[in-house]
Amino acid sequence: MGLSEVGDIDFGFSEPAADRFGGSGRSEYSDISPLLVGLYDSHKEYARTGESQPQFKEVICQQMADILSVSSRVVDREMVTDVLVTLLRQSETDLKAAMAERLALIENAPLRLLLQLLNDDISVAKPVILKSQVLNDLDLLYIIQSRDTTFWQVIAERKNLNENVVDALADTHDVPTAKNLVANDTIQFSKFAMGILEGLAKDNEDLARPLLRRPDVPEHIARTLYQLVGQELKIALEEKSVEVLGAEKAAVVADIVHDVVGEFAQDSKAYGYMPTEAMMRAADLFLRQGKLDVHLMLRTLKRGQASSYVAQLSTYSGLSSDIVISLLQQKNGQGLAVIARACGIKRQEFAMLFVLTRQVFDKSEDVSAAMTIRAHEYFDKISVDLARTILKRSQH
């Protein structure tokens, strides 16, 4: 009996083709014909028993993988693909989803078979979109153009997307897709994509927050978005402070939050480097709690908070803020080296402070090697005693 004659499932073969599977003589399909017959029988049994025998899903998926692994000739693979496409068309969603999970992991899965799954519901197509290495950029771009937001969102979760696909996803201006892109730490954003994300984030705090946390967000975008998130943060902290601390102490906290948010949200040069009273109080509080150290100052610099850094370094060294500012503006790093030596800051910590200080104060990503070498040489030459003497004189 031929395959096309048995039961309710039609695999789409003419009688001569079916005879080649069931015939007793050796044929060009003799290597895979037993596997195809077994697949047919399993599918028929699954269709008959349904969810009462869920183990047939696993059996069918394994048989499908076995067939693909042994069909190395082009003619075999084309015929097998025809069979599997027919099987998919006649399968229930849960079986198609199970087959999609298995096919997504097969490196040489037939593209035509995958496209059949991609034309289905997202619940079926998702594993293929996320995991299949058979899909290339053109395939992904076609899906973006031809399918809806549920497909865009899944593509945005795919690892190591290339720039053209990321740009196409950003260009949909779909916020859920944008959120998935921002959460994907295996991709990079072009200026084009970052510009679209910035525009969307201005109107959506849930997108602005994770976007701000990405290390590749340009500073000018971070400052713009921080105004939005910072204002919401300020209100929340003020309300919580009144509840926990009372009105008087909450007012002090509010001043600190206001200054820190305002400082980060604006360009430091335009805002000025002189710290406010609230910033100085915050630095003094860190000192009294034993939290004012080099690591805190490095984190402050990395956020671009120049005025808060001045307040912290001033409190840490005992120098006035205006003297600290004048020393930090020295591009050769001599003033910072004196403070570091006098306060027991290690050479490696000084090196990181110097580079970040220059980046924040000069508004430049690059610090020249010559500047760094000169700063290191001065740090090495000045003795701790001399540095402390200079610092002590400057404190009065």
- Measured torsion, CA atoms of residues 361, 362, 364, 368, in degrees rounded to the nearest 10: -110
Is residue 226 located within the same domain as residue 123?
no
Q: What is the pLDDT of residue 194?
A: 94
Between CA 35 and CA 62 the distance in angstroms is 11
Give the domain range for residue 260: 221-266
Is residue 179 located within the same domain as residue 287?
no
**Residue whose token pair is 């500012």:** 325
Is residue 97 located within the same domain as residue 177?
no
Is residue 335 located within the same domain as residue 352?
yes
Q: What is the pLDDT of residue 228?
A: 65
DSSP 3-state of 98: helix
Is residue 343 located within the same domain as residue 377?
yes
Q: Which of 302, 293, 289 is nearest to 356 (CA)?
A: 302
Q: What is the pLDDT of residue 168?
A: 95
Angle at 79 between CA 11 and CA 2, to 5 degrees: 40
Prediction pTM value: 0.54
**Enclosing H/E stretch for 158:** none
Is residue 228 located within the same domain as residue 141?
no
Q: What is the pLDDT of residue 1?
A: 28
Is residue 66 located within the same domain as residue 124?
yes
287 within 8 A of 343, measured Cβ to Cβ: no
**Residue whose token pair is 């976007």:** 211
Is residue 184 located within the same domain as residue 116?
no
225 within 8 A of 200, measured Cβ to Cβ: no
Between CA 117 and CA 19 the distance in angstroms is 29
Is residue 299 located within the same domain as residue 324?
yes
**Residue whose token pair is 């204002």:** 231
172 within 8 A of 143, measured Cβ to Cβ: no
Between CA 221 and CA 248 the distance in angstroms is 35
158 within 8 A of 129, measured Cβ to Cβ: yes
Q: What is the pLDDT of residue 188?
A: 93
Between CA 50 and CA 54 the distance in angstroms is 7
Is residue 105 located within the same domain as residue 4?
yes
> Which of the listed residues 106, 131, 156 is the one where a domain comes to its end?
131
Between CA 21 and CA 175 the distance in angstroms is 52
Length of the chain counted residue by residue:
396
> Which of the listed residues 131, 153, 186 is the one where a domain comes to its end?
131
Between CA 207 and CA 91 the distance in angstroms is 39
Q: What is the pLDDT of residue 251?
A: 53
Q: Which of 300, 297, 306 is nearest to 340 (CA)?
A: 297
Residue 17 CB-density burial (10 A; 0-12 exposed, 13-18 middle, 19+ buried)? middle
Q: Please give the chain's pLDDT, 396 residues, in tens.
A: 232 332 344 444 433 334 433 443 344 444 677 777 777 677 777 666 655 455 667 777 787 777 777 766 655 678 887 888 888 787 778 888 888 999 999 888 889 999 999 999 999 999 999 999 999 999 999 999 999 999 999 999 999 999 999 999 999 999 999 999 999 999 999 999 999 999 999 888 889 888 888 878 887 777 677 666 655 555 544 454 445 555 555 455 555 555 555 555 454 444 468 888 878 888 898 899 898 999 999 988 887 788 889 999 999 999 999 899 988 888 888 899 999 999 999 999 999 999 999 988 887 767 888 888 999 999 999 999 998 988 888 775
Q: What is the pLDDT of residue 122?
A: 95
Give the count of beta carbons closer than 10 Å to the beta carbon of residue 95: 22
Is residue 313 located within the same domain as residue 382?
yes
59 within 8 A of 102, measured Cβ to Cβ: no
Residue type, 88: L
Is residue 275 located within the same domain as residue 332?
yes
Count of the separate structural domains present in the chain: 4
